[in-house]
Every structure is written in C-alpha cells, then in structure tokens.
Structure 1
Amino acid sequence: MQTTGALPEVLLLDEPLMRSMTPAEWTWVLSLPGLRLGIAYSTMEFALACHADPALRRHSVNLLPLNVRLDVWLSIVKLIVHGGSYVCPEVIAALPHEERTEAVGVSGLTQRQLDVLQQVADGHSNKSIAKNLGLSIHTVKLHLHNGSIRLGARNRTEAAMRFREMRP
C-alpha cells in the first residue's frame, strides 16, 4: 500500500478484502496510530475470529454485518466515524458468557438501555418503567429488547440477572 502522507483515522474493511491482504499490508494497517477499524463481515465465523484475534483486540475494532439494510449500515458507519464503537449484537450473543460480559460491559449499552434494565432488575413492570422514565410502553419494550440482545439474554429475567452481574 502506498501512502500520501495523510493517515486515515477510520478504516472500513470488508471480509473479502481482509482475506486477500498480505501480511505486510495487515501489519501496516495495524501500525496506524489511533486508527478506528471497522470490519464488515459476511460470516459469523469470520466475525468471531476477528473478535478473538489478539492483534485486533489492541485496537478499537468495530464488527458490523454486511447483510443489514443500507440505512442501518450507514448509521453504524456514521457512529464509527464519529468516535463511537459497535459490535453487532449477534456477535456478542455468540460469545461464551465470560467474553460476552467483557465485550459488552456497561459501556456497551446505551443510557436508555441501562435505565430500562435497571428498572427491570428492580422489579418494575413495563408500564411502571414507561411512567418513571417518561417513555411509551413500546419504547420501553424496544430498549429492553435491544439491551437483552446486547447482553445475550433470552428473556426479561435473564436480562435482569445479567445486568445485575455487570453492575459493580
């Protein structure tokens, strides 16, 4: 790869390109200072291999699927460009429990997801949560659903338990 002097701050690579990169190209990519790397994957196996790669773990690596609607995909890319991080919930859900908790951490949840999960863990109903947070019941259900996916939980009770495990 040739450089023009300006180094990228964000680099988005897809699975086919990564598979074709030489070791020298890969070393160059990983040597870029302060790089936010986005990896767009086609297969879950590749995403999990990237997540487990020690060289990638030292960088801010984002894992996003290629098989989502374009508007969703562009929103994820915009998040990465603006300094956020993203790991597809399906990748997190496929990790062993210990790694999932580490991968998500409390910071992997949005503030609203944290708020809703805290209320769920405290035993509140969706109706009560909606009233307490000034949200619609539908919005509460949406935050609970997305938070549950991030935690790899299959239901409300499991989400509350995993949320409590993560809290100090």
Structure 2
Amino acid sequence: MTQQVVRVLVADDHPIVLDGVTLALQSTSWLRVAGYARCGREAIDAVTRSRPEVVLLDLRLPDMLGPEVVRAMLALDPAVKIVLFTAHADHPALQAALAAGAHGVVLKDTERADLVDVIARIIAGERVVSVDVQPDNGILVNRKLREHGLTRREYDILRRVAMGETNPEIAAALGLTRNTVKTYLQRTLEKLGARNRVEALSKASQLGIL
C-alpha cells in the first residue's frame, strides 16, 4: 500500500462530483485533497499553486477540453499524474487526452475502492485505462456532424484546436495554408453560433461533437 501522502487536485465543474470525490479521498489515510478547480484555467493555475501529485480531471470543463488542459499541466509540471475522470466512455476527446499525456481514465460511476486503487497504481508508475477507448468513434461522430452541418475537415480542425494547437501548427499538420485554416474555423464558429474558439469548444462539447 502506498505510504506517502498523495495530494490530489480535483478539477470538475459539478459540485456533487466534488463532494463525492472529497468524501472518497478523505476516507483514505494516504490521500489528501490539494484543492479544487471548476474550469480548465483554474486547474492549470492550481498545478503550480497547490503542487498536487495527482489531478482528477473532468474531460469536459466549461472553458477547455481535456487534451488542452493535459498539455498545459504537463508543460508546467512533467511529473504530475493526470487521471481523466469522465462519465463519457465513448467521448472522442478521450484518446486525444491520452495522446497528450494523461496517465489514466476512470469513469465517474467507479466504486471508491476502485478509484483509490487506480490512483495507487498510477502513482506506482502504471498507466490505467478502465474503459475501452476507441481510436475513432466514426459512426457517432459522423452522425453528430451531419446533425449540426459540420464537415469532417471542420471537425478535424476543431479537434486540433481543442488539443491546444495553433493555426500554423494545424496548417502544417493537415497540409493547409494558414488562411485556409482560418476560413474553416470561421465557418465552424458560424455554424456553432460561437463568437470565439473557447465558446466554439464549449458548444461543441455540449453537443457531443468533441
């Protein structure tokens, strides 16, 4: 059993989840709650401020998606262990967040003992994914895109935005010009009724596209 006290940052925008996780962690002698965050920016700032060993990160926060938060956290503290904590086992952003460096995935309906076990294993150096993460849930994504009038190219660019890539990085990765990427993004914002990238990511997340 892990002996050292492990500090855990809980990043979730639902109070009931924060309360439930707090109770679960408090009943384990070697775990401590290092702090809370209810949006991506707060979570990133808390990594520097609270210095947690582990972050329980909701995949969908109001201002950012998991992949972007994971990248930013690891840039600040490469040693921090990030566990994606989600109710959406089939969410397209799961694989992207794991590719960005997350150390595990746990569903929100997981039993307390199982959550504690996952944290212990990740602290010990394992990578633990407790759900079947599909490489590309193509059928579901394509249906969602059709419902909201988005093309696959617009989706690919939006997903890269969610991973924190800049327009030049997206252009290089997809073999497009920067102006073309900008045009695709503008069309995507218009279709989603969003004023900026953050709002577009939030709306796409709410619609189940990201």
Q: Which TM-score tier does this pair reach, normalised by the shorter chain?
A: 0.3 to 0.5
> How high is the TM-score relative to the length of structure 1?
0.41
What is the TM-score of this pair, normalised by structure 2? 0.34
Larger fraction in strand: 2
The structure whose residues are more often helix, as a share, is 1
